[in-house]
Amino acid sequence: MHGLLGKTLKHSFSKKIHESLGTPYELLETDDLSLFFESKDFDGINITIPYKEEVISYCDVIDPLVKRTNSCNTIVKKDGLLYAYNTDYTGFKESLSFHHITFEGKMIAIIGNGATSRTISALAEDLGAKQILVFARHPKDNEYSLDRFNDYKDISIMINTTPVGMYPNIGDSLPCSLTSMKNLKIVIDVIYNPLKTTLLLEAEDAGLQTMNGLYMLVAQAAKSYDLFHHKQVSSKQILSLYRALKKEQSNIVFIGMPKSGKSLYSKIYAEKYHRELYDIDTLFEAKFHMAISTYFDQYKESSFRKEEQAIIKEVSSYSGVVISTGGGAILKKENVTNLKHNGIIVFIDAPLDILKNTKTLIHRPLLQNDEALENLYKKRYQRYLDTADIVLKKQTLHTSTNINALEALLYEYFGT
């Protein structure tokens, strides 16, 4: 038996990765390590927070890297003995290479002082970092208090190794300001669920290069697989697994003007790829048992936007779904942030002439006539462009042609 040992594992993608490699794999949640290790009823396991340090005492043979980092994320049973390994080191190193990130000569700031922090500190030292600073809420010897992070203006690479911002608490953020760090170029977060934490979204807004923990997860799993089965996973396989997992876990989010086709395209895409569909307007009307136009009349737009935001926040925490938003959803920054945690934002860019000629039976509160439509279009168009990851130019009313164009754009985006 192979699996992942941890305390809470709802966030984990490890089962998908190992089973893609052909290994039956279990998620093994426990509050009692002594009871778990009493039987040694496994062939090989991976370890995640909070047990990467604690499990070492149950092992018989300790790899030198585990001794150096005091961190173990892989245990293999051989002839009744338990061998402790650290494959996070290899996984993070390969992820840096994939994202073309170098540590040599750089000042590195690592947030957190747990097992993963120690692993990355060791790797940064081996890769020739100029200086390695560890920041934590409760710093130990030779570490710094997290509230002093912004005092060190020469930091060029920041790495978060804490669970702050991890599912289900995807809105949480670190008490650090990125905009004041003029030499900061790269922000890394080892979290992979959500795909973009609040920290990474803030970094993107600041124009910084970012890296999440997904490639690291796949690469360390490949190294673990090698230790489990003595079968090496090629770089090509790792890349293929990474791209497939990224695509599978990403939400496809449709934005655009009313009457642009968001509901139709989202339905077609969801059905074709067997994904759950969440139409924000439909969810709203089901929740309040009335049409949106009726709600507007009774409670005004400001109340609608507040309730819409709550629905978007909940749906945005899901993975691998299709989301169709209302035309004005992107007007609130909080909505955009939430949608981008796991979402690829697709703007259906329908020109005014197509919008005006699109017939619909749905009453739109803000669209009383063509003049109102044109004014709304001019007001929102740049916001749609600024929000989108992908822009689907809707040049025709033929749905199949536009869907084919969308698939081509997503193929290019994910590299698969």
Alpha helices in 4-63 (DSSP H): 14-20, 33-39
Mark out the alpha helices in 40-162 (DSSP H runs): 64-69, 88-98, 115-126
Question: Which SS3 state, helix, strand or coil, does residue 188 take?
Answer: strand
Give the distance between the most distant pair of CA atoms in the chain. 78
**Contact partners, residue 52, CB within 8 Å, separation at least 6:** 71, 72, 73, 114, 115, 116
Alpha helices in 273-331 (DSSP H): 280-288, 292-316
Residue pair 326/278 in contact by the 8 Å Cβ criterion: no
Which neighbouring-strand residues pair with 391? 347
- The yes-or-no answer on residue 52 being catalytic is yes
Rg (CA), the chain: 24
Residues linked to residue 251 through DSSP beta bridges, in sequence order: 343
- How far apart CA 35 and CA 89 sit, in angstroms, is 28
Q: Among candidates 102, 115, 128, 247, which has minimal Cα distance to 188? A: 102
How many CB atoms neighbour CB 212 within 10 A?
Answer: 24
> What is the rounded distance in angstroms from the CA atom of residue 259 to the CA atom of residue 275?
23
DSSP label at residue 383:
H
Cα–Cα distance between 150 and 180 in angstroms, integer? Answer: 7
CA distance 206 to 48: 31
Left, alpha or beta for 52 (phi > 0: left; psi -120 to 50: alpha)?
A: alpha
Q: Out of 10, 15, 16, 52, pick the active-site residue.
A: 52
158: left (phi over 0), alpha (psi -120 to 50) or beta: beta
Catalytically active residues are 52
